[in-house]
Amino acid sequence: MHFDRSALGSIQGDLAALVGFALRLGEDCEAVKAGVTLEWSNGQVEGQINRLKMLKPQMYGRAKLDLLSQRVLLAV
């Protein structure tokens, strides 16, 4: 995958954001290829992070870290 930076860099206006996105994809080409071709997924990790983010506001101001850690372990 190769992007012509000189041609993409000269585009102005509404397409500027799209051009910036395309240039960043070109800079991280290996990661893009890996994301499309490999079977690995971080969905399970993201689910656990979202669950923790949901529990933290519920416990905010009510208890210290010990009660929050018990709540996280019991919510599994």
Query: What is the tens place of the pLDDT at every residue in 2-30?
Result: 555 555 555 566 677 787 888 888 888 88
The token pair at 4 is 């012509």
The per-residue pLDDT for 6 is 57
C-alpha to C-alpha distance for 40 and 46, rounded to whole angstroms: 13
C-alpha to C-alpha distance for 45 and 10, rounded to whole angstroms: 40
- Read off the pTM: 0.40
Cβ-based neighbours of 3, under 8 Å, separated by 6 or more: 22, 23, 25, 26
CB 13 within 8 A of CB 33: no
